[in-house]
Structure 1
Amino acid sequence: MPVACSGGGKSDENKKLVVYSPNSEGLINAVVPLFEEKTGIKVEVISAGTGELVKRIQSEKESPYGDVLFGGTYTQYISNKDLFEPYVSKEDANVVDEYKNNTGYITYTVLDGSVLIVNKELTKDLKIESYEDLLQP
């Protein structure tokens, strides 16, 4: 979920985008080089947990260093809207309706499902084959 942090004020000469991100190194390494190649803009990534990054953005409110928060949770954005500038991608029209940016602040970049991992050795007598099985005493 990239969100503009309102760092702005940088001249075109710098051509650097500062991205705060709690995303995995794998995702960052897959996305950032493609962005740099396509745009010619150098990216500086500052990695940390979402909570830590939001605290940093709060402390930098009067003079933001970051330009974009890439990743995090919906609740972090909604409860800190005053820290972000509205932004809707020009590609939003191509997004499935359920995932469009309908707040003006949040652009979904990935769809993650929840995963349940079961240790079959420890649970072999429980016969866990579905989520419904977890509701059984």
Structure 2
Amino acid sequence: MISSIEANLKSFDLPEDYVKFLHEFDSAVLFRTLRQGGGCSILSPQLVIQYWKGYSIDHPYYIAWSSHSLGCICVDQDRLDSGNGYLTWFESMDPDNPIDIDLTFIEWLDKLIEHEGKEFWIPFHEEEE
């Protein structure tokens, strides 16, 4: 399965932890409720490609979408080997002011679960806790 993921996403430099996740699960929807909606969707390889083509972006690329605050978690390929994490947050309403999360995919996923789905990387969410 890894080879088909890599073949579909050959334009991207994929983080190992994200590839391992895709190998196990393909995609996921976390912390969505029937009454309040929201939640975070970890995109399948097909959706990564669809967003990439649909928005004509080549760098960074989307890997997760938040329905709660309408934004996306992206992999910043320039930071993959930095040792400090490589994720960046882009809010739909303010795409010119991304927030560097400085976590790997698995670190981000662990913290998302630890914070019960709250978007801990967005400054106003830190104040609510």
Q: TM-score range by the shorter chain?
A: under 0.3
**TM-score using structure 2 length:** 0.26
Greater share of helix residues, 1 or 2?
2
Greater strand share, structure number: 2
Higher relative contact order structure (alpha carbons within 8 Å, sequence separation ≥ 6) = 1
Instruction: Choose 1 or 2 for highest CA Rg.
Output: 1
